[in-house]
Amino acid sequence: MTEERTTTTTTPDGNTHSETVIRTESSGGGSKGWLFLVVLLVAVVAAIIYLTQMSGAEVAKDNAIADAANQVGDAAEQAGDAVEEVADEITDGE
20-29, 73-82, 84-93: the lowest-pLDDT one: 20-29
Extents of the domains making up the chain: 29-91
Kindly report whether the global pTM for this prediction surpasses the value 0.95.
no
Mean pLDDT of 34-46: 91
Q: What is the pLDDT of residue 46?
A: 92
Sequence-distant (6+) residues with CB within 8 A of 69 are none
Q: What is the pLDDT of residues 42-70, one digit of tens each?
A: 999 999 888 887 777 788 888 999 999 99
Q: What is the pLDDT of residue 71?
A: 94
Strand partners, 7: 19
Element (H, E) at 24: strand 16-24
**Amino acid, single-letter form, for residue 51:** L
